[in-house]
Chains A and B, each alone.
Chain A
């Protein structure tokens, strides 16, 4: 608890530093307009919030570990929209508080105001592109390039605007120095995260690329030092392949291997998007920079006694396979029900291994395959994972089990609705919010 509350308090305190400094050292006297001054105070807070954005997005273990990277990135997104909302209020309050609406409408405002308006406009574009990326038809890489250009541009414009026009920066001793130091610090974090660290990440070698199901490939990587990588089963990492066959882009993938599998780390990847459709062409001997592990999606964070229900759709089996392999290798005496939905038999990933695990007694695994488009000879479950099937296959577990759900958005939503109908509370449902990183 302490671990997860302290960073939030530290974040809030840092966001208030500029306002706190001017409050202590820069008295306004009794003549100032309150609304006008609140408008200026909001700008000081927003500038600090913007400076902290690269820190939230920088994947620093100290910040991400208590919450999971997906939640920290989500918080970064929420704070971006918050900054935009508050900074829209900034000129409005200045106008209402005595500066007049010519501030907003006149072309004859000082150049520093124009710089501020440009910063606001770019922030609006930044937020719009991030919130509506898919609707705008922007692919992830293009969005990321745009984000990387806009973020420093917004910060520099906002810094210039406030440096030259801000009364507190002119009259409160040390504020301009604070501005420069904070801007350099924030820029340093951004440059480190985007340009320095990627080149310093460990470079693994591709040891094997094997077909795991139709259009699905397991890429096995060996670390440069030959030691077993440290991670928890179910976590994910970022990979940048250096291969003639795929673009040199960073993408996140679930780790499908278990840390009990010595000296390798593997990701099982489905051919789907522009990048992944060539994944089967990656060859042994190619290399990849690996950044990770990240995530809180693992049974090892759960109570040891509690039974588990794994519900997977398609390639969503990967973190669950890692956990099941780990349970088998460590002799974990756990009761696990796996409900695994695919289109056809050929799409079932890790079929042989899952069947073999179900025959063992550690874990005590019960596997149910559900096919939406089975061949005529299929004797197993048909259709989708619905309320009735979950009730039937999880008999006696519903009141205490922890549910790990992993699969395509529509399937996961339907499963969450079913779990809700069955009375399973949200605090017993685990889900990786992968979409937030896309």
Chain B
């Protein structure tokens, strides 16, 4: 259970980081 929660937290963190990489880069270019 705790492991599932940790994996969920990790997946969310990675998703946020990658999405931010794309979005913030786009903001810098436009």
Q: Of the candidates A8, A16, A70, A426, which one forms a contact with B17 in the assembled complex, judged by CB atoms under 8 Å apart?
A: A16
Q: Mark A194-224, 1 if CB is under 8 A from B, else 0.
A: 0000000000000000000000000000000
Binds B, one of A73-81, A109-117, A382-390: A73-81
Residues of B with Cβ closer than 8 Å to A? 1-7, 9-10, 12-14, 16-18, 20-22, 24-30
Interface of B is mostly: helix
Contact B21 A19, beta carbon cutoff 8 Å: yes
Residues of A with Cβ closer than 8 Å to B? 8, 11-12, 15-16, 19-20, 22-23, 26-30, 32, 34, 37-38, 40-42, 45, 49, 67-68, 70-71, 74-75, 78-79, 82, 86, 296, 426-427, 429-430, 433
Instruction: Give CA–CA (A321, B24) in the complex, Å.
Output: 53
Which residues of chain A have C-beta atoms less than 8 A from B29's C-beta?
28-30, 32, 34, 37
Nearest-CB residue, chain A, relative to B4: A426
Instruction: Give CA–CA (A27, B27) in the complex, Å.
Output: 9
Instruction: Give CA–CA (A30, B26) in the complex, Å.
Output: 10
Contact A11 B3, beta carbon cutoff 8 Å: no
> In the complex, what's the smallest C-beta–C-beta distance from A197 to chain B, in angstroms?
25
Contact A45 B28, beta carbon cutoff 8 Å: no
Q: Of the candidates A23, A26, A41, A74, which one forms a contact with B6 in the assembled complex, judged by CB atoms under 8 Å apart?
A: A74
Which residues of chain B have C-beta atoms less than 8 A from A68's C-beta?
2
Instruction: Give CA–CA (A19, B9) in the complex, Å.
Output: 21
Which residues of chain B have C-beta atoms less than 8 A from A16's C-beta?
16-17, 20, 24
Q: Of the candidates B7, B9, B21, B28, which one forms a contact with A8 in the assembled complex, judged by CB atoms under 8 Å apart?
A: B9
